[in-house]
């Protein structure tokens, strides 16, 4: 007869299967609880974030100019929603709510703002979590008091205004223009002055009979350097503080260079000149008696010039002398383009004063750095040295060389 009872092995296997099944049920149950808990946290945080935006809308509806913070919290302690203050945040149980504001538009739109409501918390499992809600608010429910016409005067367009206010033009409110007044500055004792020209508020000239000239210094007319003519001067004009012309009787033309007046000679006409005008430093017009019209042209500077120096004896020892460094002091004007204006040098050396067998080097060997360049040793061992300097300008102004120094041993 067969044994129908269970063996110990079967019992053990059955218990193990039961334990696995029970463990699975426990895991499923715990997972459900965790999911429910996490979902509850998310719903609470979302509600708080939404509430933050709604509270800000309520503040906006009350007064747009209360949205003045970059970051704030909200409070309803007075029965209405209000912003707490700059930099504040709000703690609600395990949650922290922060409201931030940023400007909208470029340039900044004063009538709209971007708003973000953010809620942060630590989950029951210890992790960090966050929910944000964002929107743009506008100052939609507002009105403007617009006034563009004050011309009705006091009692109509406004209540009162200073006597310095000008409201005479529709669409403009401005300060009244002061009247211009001619007053006697000084009496020169009967001297007849014929013309005046001001370069600036502190510099200018007046000219008169007998070649007299006075210069303005901002407060007084002082005697200027006497001109080279006794003839009457009738007109004066300047293009700058260093370029003026005065004209007068018998075709007289004199020029101011910034420091002295000099006579332009010979004059192209013997007739009296009555007026002069300078359109630029090198373009002007003068008119005078019997239909005389003169035109000034030219001027400026040459654009290229080369100077070859004298020959310098370095009186070296028997084996010659090394030419070690070349440097110079220069004044370079502002040119357009800047590369048009510069100063550069070449050097040559020889053992006799006639510089026999010493050609000038090619243009690729120009020295161009005024602060100094160490000369190639190939120039060493000779007795005589000579330089050639090239000045380059733009025709309007000129570079200026003040000093050149060639160092030798």
Q: What ranges in 3-106 are assigned the alpha helix state H?
A: 8-62
Report helix, strand or coil for 145.
coil
Compute the chain's Rg from CA coordinates: 47
Q: Which residue has the tokens 């509850």?
A: 40
Report how far residue 255's alpha carbon sits from residue 46's, in angstroms, rounded to the nearest whole number. Answer: 86
- In the chain, the largest separation of any two C-alpha atoms, in whole Å, equals 164
Report how far residue 406's alpha carbon sits from residue 367's, in angstroms, rounded to the nearest whole number. Answer: 12
pLDDT of 1 reads: 44
**Residue 371: how many CA atoms within 13 Å on its side-chain side?**
0
Q: Do 193-296 and 304-408 fold alike per CATH?
A: no
Residue among 105, 139, 104, 102 at smallest CA distance from 117 = 102
* In the chain, where the domains are located: 10-138, 193-296, 304-408
CATH number, span 304-408: 2.60.120
Residue 294 has φ and ψ, to the nearest 5°, of -110, 145
Please check whether residue 114 is in contact with residue 104, taking contact to mean a CB–CB distance below 8 angstroms.
yes
Please check whether residue 288 is in contact with residue 269, taking contact to mean a CB–CB distance below 8 angstroms.
yes
Report how far residue 404's alpha carbon sits from residue 390's, in angstroms, rounded to the nearest whole number. Answer: 13
Report how far residue 143's alpha carbon sits from residue 2's, in angstroms, rounded to the nearest whole number. Answer: 102
Q: Which residue has the tokens 């020889």?
A: 350
pLDDT of 69 reads: 95
Give Cβ neighbours of residue 121 (< 8 Å, ≥ 6 apart).
41, 45, 94, 95, 96, 128, 129, 130
pLDDT 10s per residue in the chain (409 long)? Answer: 445 555 787 777 777 777 677 666 545 545 554 555 567 999 999 999 999 999 999 999 999 999 999 999 999 988 899 999 999 999 999 999 999 999 988 888 999 999 999 999 999 888 999 999 999 999 998 888 899 999 988 888 899 999 999 999 999 999 999 988 988 887 766 678 999 999 999 999 999 999 999 999 999 888 766 677 899 999 999 999 999 999 999 999 999 999 899 999 999 999 999 999 999 888 999 999 999 999 999 888 899 999 999 999 998 666 788 999 999 999 999 998 899 999 999 999 999 999 999 999 999 999 999 999 999 999 999 999 999 999 999 988 899 999 999 999 8
- Domain 193-296 matching CATH 3.30.70.1150: the answer reads no
pLDDT of 281 reads: 86
Report how far residue 357's alpha carbon sits from residue 38's, in angstroms, rounded to the nearest whole number. Answer: 99
Report how far residue 195's alpha carbon sits from residue 173's, in angstroms, rounded to the nearest whole number. Answer: 39
């Amino acid at each position: 007869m067969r044994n129908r009872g269970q063996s110990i092995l079967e019992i053990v296997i059955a218990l193990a299967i039961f334990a696995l099944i029970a463990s699975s049920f426990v895991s499923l149950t715990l997972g459900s609880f965790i999911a429910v808990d996490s979902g509850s946290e998310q719903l609470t945080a979302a509600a708080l974030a939404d509430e933050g935006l709604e509270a800000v809308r309520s503040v906006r509806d009350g007064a747009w100019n209360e949205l003045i913070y970059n970051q704030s919290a909200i409070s309803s302690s007075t029965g209405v929603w209000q912003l707490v203050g700059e930099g504040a945040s709000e703690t609600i149980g395990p949650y922290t709510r922060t409201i931030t504001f940023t400007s909208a538009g470029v340039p900044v739109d004063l009538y709209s703002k971007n708003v973000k409501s953010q809620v942060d918390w630590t989950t029951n499992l210890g992790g960090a979590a966050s929910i944000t809600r964002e929107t743009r608010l506008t100052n939609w429910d507002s009105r403007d008091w617009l006034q563009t016409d004050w011309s009705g005067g006091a009692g109509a367009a406004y209540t009162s205004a200073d006597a310095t206010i000008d409201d005479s033009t529709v669409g403009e409110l401005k300060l009244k223009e002061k009247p211009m007044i001619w007053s006697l500055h000084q009496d020169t004792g009967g001297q007849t002055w014929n013309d005046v020209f001001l370069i600036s508020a502190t510099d200018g000239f007046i000219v008169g009979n007998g070649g007299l000239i006075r210069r303005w210094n901002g407060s007084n007319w002082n005697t200027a350097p006497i001109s080279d003519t006794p003839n009457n001067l009738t007109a004066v004009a300047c293009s700058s503080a260093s370029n003026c012309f005065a004209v007068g009787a018998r075709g007289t033309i004199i020029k101011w260079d910034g420091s002295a007046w000099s006579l332009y000679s010979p004059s192209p006409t013997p007739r009296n000149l009555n007026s002069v005008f300078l359109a630029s430093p090198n373009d002007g017009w003068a008119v005078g008696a019997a239909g005389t019209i003169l035109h000034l042209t030219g001027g400026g500077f040459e654009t290229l010039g080369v100077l070859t120096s004298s020959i310098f004896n370095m009186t070296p020892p028997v084996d010659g002398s090394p030419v070690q460094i070349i440097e110079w002091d220069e004044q370079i004007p502002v040119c357009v383009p800047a590369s048009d204006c510069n100063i550069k040098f070449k050097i040559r050396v020889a053992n006799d004063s006639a510089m026999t067998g010493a050609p000038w080097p090619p243009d690729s060997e120009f020295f161009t750095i005024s602060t100094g360049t160490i000369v190639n040793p190939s120039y060493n061992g000779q007795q005589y040295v000579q330089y050639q300097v090239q000045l380059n300008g733009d025709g309007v102004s000129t570079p200026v060389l003040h000093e050149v120094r060639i160092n030798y041993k």
